[in-house]
Chain A
Amino acid sequence: MSDSATIEQSSQDAGERQPVTKKEITADHPTWCPGCGDFSVLSIYYKLIQKRNIPHESVTTVAGIGCSSRFPYFVQAHGVHYIHGRALSFASGLSISRPDLHVFTFGGDGDAFSIGGNHFVHTARKNVKMTYVVMDNFVYGLTKKQTSPTSPLGFKSKTDNWGALDQPVNPMKLAISAGATFVARTSHTNPKHLLEMMDAAMDHDGFSFIECLSECTEFFAGAFDNSNPRKGGEFKLMPEDHDPTDEAAAYAVAGEDFPGRFGIFYQVLRPTKNALEAGVIEAAQSKFKGQQAHDILQANFNKMK
């Protein structure tokens, strides 16, 4: 789908226009509880939009269902609040059909790893170009404290009064093994690092996935304290000699005990789904240069006579 004309136009306009201000990009006041980690992800998103000078009309925010998925309402820009777990599929259709946009998808751990687990795996495998930020709070917050797919063993919730029984998902391991080409981890408590990760994710040509620990102060307060220096914990960056193209090394770091490491675990370049489909289109269209749709269809109909 050739929308190249649009891209040029947008960037030209953007050149003449002033960068979007924080006020312009801010919409409804978030419905999140006071102290929720998601606030910091939202403010970093505003910062990213300003830093990258994204034309206002091109900011596109997609989310599924959950506390964190309310995100698009709080951004004064084109936004989508889709159904539970399927935001990645929606965003894939948008990204592949609109290569001029950089699509941001936001969600929580339930959306990403439980109801949408299948889509997470296949979007990573297909390497659809977009940035996916999962605000992982280890609990279902919107429905008021049930066990989530990332709840640690023993976590007491309304669906596991005696403590969570099921092995939690390790988002880093899942993403790496599924074939994601950019896998990073950060925390809402470190906004500078969060912005760094989002910036790098946006630079990445492919499916860029960030797990951002984002505390639910209401239902899992203190969950991430031991990764927060202000609460006496340690925000441990990736080992200095870590090679992000080394899949086995990335997997090994991902296996470290909680709170683990922060930074880019894995990053490689592999053709994106968008580029591969564009290649198919280019090859197919090369045989029909200068022909209109009805000419191409007529050629098929002539074979069916």
Chain B
Amino acid sequence: MGQIYFIFSMSETTVSEANNGNDSRASNISEATIRLAGNSQDGIQSIGGFLARLAGRSEREVMTMMTIPSTISGGASIFQVRLGSGEVLSPGDKADVLFAFYQHSYDNHVNNLTKGGILVYDSDHVEPREEWLTKYRHIGIAISSLTVEAIGGTARDKGKNIYALGLIAGMFSLDTTKLERLINERFGGKGESIVKTAMDAFQAGCRYQSNDISNLFRLARGGAERSNQVVMSGNEAIGYGLIAAGVRFGAGYPITPWSEIMELLRRELPKYGGSFIQCEDEIASVSMAIGASYGGHVGVTGSSGPGISLKTEAIGWAVMAEMPLVVIDVQRGGPSTGLPTDVEQSDLNIALYGGHGDSPRVVLAASDVEDCFYTAIEAVNIARKFSVPVFVLSDQAIATRIEAFNEPDLKTICKDVELDLSPVPSHKPYDLSSGDGLSRHRAPGTRIEDGRYPVVTGLEHDESGHPSGDAVNHIEMTKKRRNKLKTLADELPAPEVYGADSGDVLLVGWGSTKGPLLEAVEELSNNGDALSALHIKHINPLPNGLDAIFSRFNSVYVVEMNDGGVYGYGQLAGVLRARFADARIKGINKTAARRWKVSEIIERVKACRAEEPVTA
């Protein structure tokens, strides 16, 4: 991530345009947030997908947000896409334009419009309300009937998403040639008639003429020269990252929002000579993955919510037996079945501590879609080198969000790891001699020339893997399992402070809070406040040097999407307080099971600062 652009707000421009009635000339804007609200079967998400891909091909940044209902079919669904010419860090707090397909979409989302925003509604389904008419600019279009008309009157309005895409293209002067190419690519495999129907709907949307809507805005081109971009969701980025890192075996059980990763791996791994097995349950899944690791691969499993709880005993075994393992946790709202399709960062504790006994494991958290790709790769490499379970924490918000990012250089990144079964003169699976805690697993098929073969086990064991209840041995082995994390910590990059290197307040975040956190810092700094931010990707072990950074600030606020608990600080804050015994570390927590908005962070930071006098 480079520097952050700050751009004039779109809403102000539109207000003046609207008031002047001067709509014929497109006003140049540098970013726009569009929210589409409808039902899940309307293909709302695919409009977002098209816009995201278009942005990826047009030197523009894009970030999207999707919420889906936890019901099987039907139910409200929204997709929000933020397009910008600078760097887009978050999906945007409020929408500049809202497309409301139904009355409930109108009623529930009108509050998410910026002041003076534009409300496009399907006049076949929505009755505008008096109190909102004055507040927002309303544009009623009979989207449903116009779609039916455009695609040849089958009396079905399937395709109104593509019609709406045409409307958006017209409003924002988007590149229709590129969009048509995308539509061709998307529907090309489904037969000519489908492509024609989609194209008819799209073109009708584009052609829709009205002074209200045509050529309202033109998105500025990005300033910097950009390399090729790829567009995908966080779940896809994790799946492809695992493949790039050389993962060739995984096992899982379906659960939202993790399932997409398992579906991707099931579909893709065979191309690389690998397999992903759907198991009877979560315990079998993690066990199969560990079995493959024992076979000399790096096995992968993953889940969400309750599924992670079920895997913990086996993960503890992998810690004890020192087997490589990657566990993907796409966090959702908890505890128990919780909020399956909403976001929360409340699995940090289970990732860190889930299971009985002292069982150190590695925990990494991905901050955005691009980071999902690279975090997955890093996790596999750590698991392989340190023979340890590695958690990758993602969450529902990144999992379902589509972003464009610079295309990775796959040729240099991709690994095709050969199984190493070369004979060795002798082997101790739990060799203590190195002192750094590292030892190497030798898979079955490896000839041990001195004839002494290893047993890998969950019982406390001696260096050869044979059971030992000896006190000194347990001390040494516990130290070994702990020391390899210390060795890893020494290899981690030094954490980077965004903003001033020292000052009054340091905001600390992890995972998907990174975008809104950085935007909040930027915005507060623009208003003259001295704020900085620190994003922690490696949560266990923590990178060295955090204490030195903390000491340069008066207050440290840890911003998390989880509960502040009985004592007022959340899960990462708890880790940091325990680590540094620093009472200045305080929690800013949110339990709404919705992502942080930039404005909320700003308000909460202000409130915290009001509470405690600044001692500069």
Give the shortest distance, in Å, between A114 (CB) and chain B (any CB). Answer: 14
Contact assessment for B288 and A58 in the assembled complex, using a CB-CB cutoff below 8 Å: no
Does B435 reach chain A (CB closer than 8 Å)? Answer: no
By a CB distance below 8 angstroms, the chain B residues around A78 are 443-446, 453-455
In Å, the complex CA distance between A82 and B294 comes to 11
Please, how many angstroms separate the alpha-carbon atoms of A305 and B423 in the complex?
A: 45
Complex CA–CA separation, A249 to B437 (angstroms): 57
Contact bitstring A66-109, B, C-beta under 8 A = 1, else 0 = 00000011001111111100100111111111101100000000
Which one of B126-134, B408-416, B535-543 contacts A?
Answer: B408-416
Name the residue on A nearest B454 (C-beta).
A78
From known contacts A57-B445, A280-B270, infer whether A86 and B287 are also in contact, taking CB-CB under 8 Å. Answer: yes
> Which residues of the partner chain A approach B411 to less than 8 Å between Cβ atoms?
294, 298
CB–CB A305/B53 < 8 A: yes
Give the number of residues in B that approach A within 8 Å (Cβ atoms).
Answer: 76
B596 interface residue per 8 A CB criterion: no
B-side binding surface: helix, strand, loop or mixed?
mixed
Whether A93 and B444, one on each chain, are in contact in the complex, defined by CB atoms closer than 8 angstroms, is no
Residues of A within 8 A of B57 (CB): 305
- Give Cα A10–Cα B347 distance, bound, in whole angstroms: 45
Known interface pairs A100-B445, A301-B230; A86-B421 also in contact (CB < 8 Å): no
Find out whether the CB atom of A297 lies under 8 angstroms from the CB atom of B454: no
What's the Cα separation between A119 and B279 when bound, in Å?
9
Interface centre among B232, B275, B408 (most CB of A within 10 A): B275
CA A57 to CA B270, docked complex, whole Å? 28
- Cα-based distance from A210 to B560 in the complex (angstroms): 53
Mostly helix, strand, loop or mixed at chain A's interface? helix
Q: Which of B292, B416, B419, B423 contacts A93 (CB 8 A)?
A: B292
- The answer to the question of A257 belonging to the interface, with a C-beta cut-off of 8 Å to chain B, is no
Q: Does A33 contact B (CB under 8 A)?
A: no
- Cβ of B280 and Cβ of A305 under 8 Å apart? no
Instruction: Kindly state whether residue B271 has any CB partner on chain A within 8 Å.
Output: yes
- Whether, in the assembled complex, B302 has its beta carbon less than 8 Å from a beta carbon of chain A, the answer is no
Cross-chain contact of B244 among A76, A80, A94, A297 (Cβ < 8 A): A297
Contact partner of A94 among B236, B273, B294, CB < 8 A?
Answer: B294
Contact of A90 among B281, B294, B445, B451 (CB under 8 A): B294
User: Which residues from 266 to 292 on chain B have a C-beta closer than 8 Å to any C-beta of chain A?
Assistant: 268, 270-275, 277, 279-281, 283-285, 287-292
Q: CB of B228 within 8 A of chain A?
A: yes
Residue B299, interface by CB 8 Å: yes
The answer to whether B447 touches A56, judged by C-beta atoms less than 8 angstroms apart, is: yes
Beyond A94-B292, A94-B295, is A1–B249 a contact (Cβ under 8 Å)?
yes
Compute how far the CA of A94 lies from the CA of B288 in the bound complex, rounded to whole angstroms.
7
Taking a contact as CB atoms under 8 Å apart, the answer to whether A293 and B453 are in contact is no
A1 to B273, CA, bound (A): 5
Choice from A13, A59, A76, A292 contacting B416 with Cβ under 8 Å: A292
Enumerate chain A residues within 8 angstroms of B362, measured Cβ to Cβ.
none
- Which A-chain residue is minimally distant from B293 (CB atoms)? A93
Which residues A256-305 have CB closer than 8 A to chain B?
A: 273, 277, 280-281, 283-285, 287-288, 292-294, 296-298, 300-301, 303-305
5 extra interface residue pairs, beta carbon distance < 8 Å, beyond A79-B465, A298-B410: A57-B448, A93-B249, A93-B288, A101-B295, A122-B279
